[in-house]
């Protein structure tokens, strides 16, 4: 599309963009195991390096960066395209980490819930009530895979709750409605977008069987489409990075697909909103290692600590 600009290239599977007021964007490079800042002129600088694989990224109430670390992927690269290909040989376990953006110091907050190890934390969103919701995609191996799930955790490291489990196709993108009353989760392998009403931090209203995790199906995406991260617009629309088809898909709060924007990569994995009016969309084009920016048709929702 003619109004799409490439801000940075040569990134090693970028995800988790976070837009700052100065026009810079922080993101993760999964394969390179680092958190990188992209300046408005495209210059790159390293905020921190981590073991495992950095995934979802968000700013907390203290200004620190909070990270979903999935523990590590194996990688496949051909013809200039890079993509994950299952659990890494040196997989080090899933965890939630806090990163000091000034020093790059990494602190582990959580690596289990009720004695059960986290497998592959993927994305997170702060609720402005002392904590954050996050997804676990699970890990994929040659002959089996983990179930995904949805969790809530206190920002100070004091409490973690398994809120919805299992998400068979892997919990990926996660976001909150503008009023903070509804939680949205994208399930990767099934192409399904789920919603739960929030009762309190860590507690979701569960629908009865046959929904095993208690969510209500908001939208079943058509054809062969896998879902990655998501963002929420100020209108309440849910904007989902859509894999395989290489699209950004907007779904209304009632579940209708209202807009589809094609991206120049089959794996546009993450989207966030920035700029003074939150009408600039930043999209990670992951297999080709690029960060793109484009004007969006509506403003994004201002995050709790954005």
Please state the residue numbers annotated as binding site for substrate.
Answer: 122
Q: What is the DSSP letter of 268?
A: E
CA-closest candidate to residue 83, choices 91, 73, 98: 73
Of 123, 136, 228, 265, the active-site residue reads: 228
Catalytic residue flag (residue 265): no
Binding site members for a divalent metal cation = 172, 228
- Tell me the C-alpha distance between 75 and 89, whole Å: 10
Q: What is the DSSP letter of 288?
A: T
Q: Report CA 145 to chain centroid distance, whole Å.
A: 20
CA-closest candidate to residue 65, choices 120, 113, 31, 109: 109
Binding site members = 122, 172, 228
Lookup result for tokens 């994004």:
300
Question: What's 109-167 look like in SS3?
Answer: EECEECCEECCCEEEEEECCCCEEEEEECCCECCCCECCEEEEEEECCCCCEEEEEEEE
The residues assigned a catalytic role are 228
């Amino acid at each position: 599309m003619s109004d799409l600009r490439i801000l940075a290239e040569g990134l090693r599977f970028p995800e988790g963009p976070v837009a700052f007021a100065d026009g810079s964007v922080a993101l993760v490079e999964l394969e390179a195991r680092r958190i990188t800042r992209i300046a408005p002129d495209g210059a790159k600088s390293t905020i921190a390096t981590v073991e495992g694989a950095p995934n979802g990224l968000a700013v907390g109430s203290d200004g620190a960066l909070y990270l979903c670390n999935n523990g590590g992927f194996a990688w496949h690269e051909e013809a200039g395209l890079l993509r994950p290909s299952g659990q890494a040989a040196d997989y080090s376990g899933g965890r939630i980490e806090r990163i000091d953006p000034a020093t790059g110091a990494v602190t582990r907050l959580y690596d289990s819930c009720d004695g059960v190890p986290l497998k592959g934390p993927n994305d997170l969103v702060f609720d402005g009530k002392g904590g954050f919701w996050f997804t676990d995609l699970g890990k994929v191996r040659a002959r089996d895979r983990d179930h995904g799930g949805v969790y809530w955790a206190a920002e100070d490291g004091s409490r973690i709750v398994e809120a919805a489990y299992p998400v068979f196709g892997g919990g990926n993108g996660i976001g909150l409605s503008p009023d903070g009353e509804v939680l949205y989760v994208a399930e990767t392998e099934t192409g399904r977008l789920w919603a739960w009403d929030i009762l309190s931090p860590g507690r979701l209203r569960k629908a009865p069987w046959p929904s095993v995790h208690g969510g209500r199906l908001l939208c079943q995406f058509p054809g062969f489409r896998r879902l990655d991260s998501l963002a929420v617009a100020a209108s309440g629309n849910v904007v989902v990075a859509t894999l395989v088809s290489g699209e950004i898909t907007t779904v209304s709060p009632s579940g209708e697909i209202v807009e589809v924007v094609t991206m120049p990569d089959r794996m546009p994995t993450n989207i966030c909103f920035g700029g003074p009016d939150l009408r600039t969309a930043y999209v990670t084009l992951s297999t080709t290692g690029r960060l793109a920016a484009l004007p969006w048709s509506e403003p994004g929702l201002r995050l709790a600590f954005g």
